[in-house]
Chains A and B, each alone.
Chain A
């Protein structure tokens, strides 16, 4: 279960990788989308949603904030931040030359990730399409959602999980009949009222008067 609102992040335009210069129209079949999290504190990603558009394989690589240096260790040089591969060549189209899967909606969730995505500084989606059949390939409607842990389901109300032990016996209250009978009648009353409520007409008779505005005393003064 992802939280309702996607993470606010910047998704850059896909960049086509070329072997040589722009004149050389070599079809590399590889594009890269960079995602940054400029204004998010502790960005962590639980799910990636998107709509495929002729991408055959998806690789997700991420950069994480370096862990705080341990007190004992030598913290002189800034530790190098490496790109880590979180999802490797996930197959989106069963066969790159065929249409199947080319327009599907995907949800890459934690079970696809190699590790938890937290303390992110950047994310890079690598799209691959080896087949030259398709004119273009990209991902649409990319949305990132937070981890599901941060969104625990609401606890069940007490009356739902309480033990049924007190339902046996001892339900006598002085001066009145059985609670069961009263409860049954009350429930019937409820049912009748709901029945009526759902059968009320919406048709207007065409009355224009608002309550009280035709009060004779008011009219005589205006």
Chain B
């Protein structure tokens, strides 16, 4: 008797189920709510692509690093949500299995994540960055270290893009090669600005002026007047590498 009744009651339930109950049973409602929340807080430029990526990686629980990378790239590093995302990524990576019973973020998974983040950065720059913030396998990565490393990598991505843009504005002919003297002058200005100590207010203001249109014009003009133009050219890669070297001096070496 009992066996007979069961399918009946199940049928009844399906018939009587309201829309809300259906959403709750399949947990679609919370899923959509979650993703909407993510879209709103991260404000991606291309929401559709964002959604596609999100659902794509939803199933894939195995590759923690790519998932963490996706979380980190959800939003720009200048937005406040970025911090929350870093925390989320860190929590996710804590599931990383180190040994049989030990879980947590170790050097391997951290370095993998940094490498994944800097995939588009020129190889030479990537190696130099890793030299500074890479961690060995046995090291346990605290959140502070993680946060700083991830932030550095994300900013570096922007930095590389920007310096490429800068190169393009020097190289007007789009020949892929810009005059070496001009590049050197521009880079020199940047290096002096970066070398100025933050506590020395006068140096900071002076660097600010040197990078301004007037100061830059003055420096470029002087370089042109020295008159050894067309003595060589610099490629995009060389230029970005040198610009990034200046950036990397600001990255503290891990202890």
Residue numbers of A with Cβ under 8 A of B are 157, 159-160, 164, 166-167, 171, 173-183, 185-190, 192-207
Contact = CB atoms under 8 A, between A and B. Distances in A.
A176 B167 CA distance: 10
Contacts of A197: 198, 250-251
A203 B144 contact: yes
Contacts of A187: 208, 211-212
Contacts of B182: 175-176
Contacts of A164: 214
B133 to A, nearest CB: 9
A183 B145 contact: no
7 contacts: A167-B214, A176-B179, A187-B211, A192-B158, A198-B198, A200-B148, A201-B148
Nearest to B154: A196
A75 B179 CA distance: 79
**Most B C-beta atoms less than 10 A away, residue of A173, A193, A204:** A193
A197 B193 CA distance: 13
Contacts, number: 134
B138 to A, nearest CB: 10
A85 B216 CA distance: 59
B64 interface: no
A213 B152 CA distance: 28
A181 B151 CA distance: 26
Interface residues of B, number: 56
Contacts of B142: 203, 205
B172 A175 contact: yes
A193 B194 CA distance: 8
A175 to B, nearest CB: 6
The 5 closest A-B pairs by CB, nearest first: A201-B148, A197-B250, A185-B166, A177-B169, A200-B252
A192 B159 contact: yes
Contacts of A160: 205, 209
Q: Is the interface of A mostly helix, strand, loop or mixed?
A: helix
Interface in B19-43: none
B155 interface: yes
B224 interface: yes
Interface of B: 135, 139-142, 144-145, 147-148, 151-152, 155-156, 158-159, 162-163, 165-166, 169-170, 172, 178-179, 182, 186, 189-190, 193-194, 198, 202, 205-209, 211-217, 220-221, 224, 229, 243, 246-247, 250-252, 254-255
B217 A173 contact: yes
Contacts of A200: 148, 152, 250-252
Contacts of A178: 169
**Most B C-beta atoms less than 10 A away, residue of A179, A198, A207:** A179
Given A176-B169, A185-B162, A204-B255, A196 B209 contact: no
B29 to A, nearest CB: 38
Given A186-B166, A188-B162, A205-B135, A177 B186 contact: no
A201 B144 contact: yes
Nearest to A211: B253
Contact of B215 (A159, A177, A193, A198): A159
Nearest to A200: B252
Contacts of B251: 196-197, 200
A115 B229 CA distance: 64
A171 B213 contact: yes
B129 to A, nearest CB: 11
Contact of B217 (A174, A179, A206): A179
Contacts of B254: 204-205, 207
A179 B250 contact: no
A193 B244 CA distance: 10
B139 A167 contact: no
Given A167-B214, A171-B213, A201-B252, 5 more contacts: A157-B202, A176-B220, A177-B172, A190-B194, A205-B135
A171 B221 CA distance: 9
Contact of B206 (A157, A174, A181): A157
B139 A189 contact: no
A196 B247 contact: yes
A202 B255 CA distance: 9
A167 B218 CA distance: 10
Contacts of B246: 193
Contacts of A175: 172, 179, 182, 229
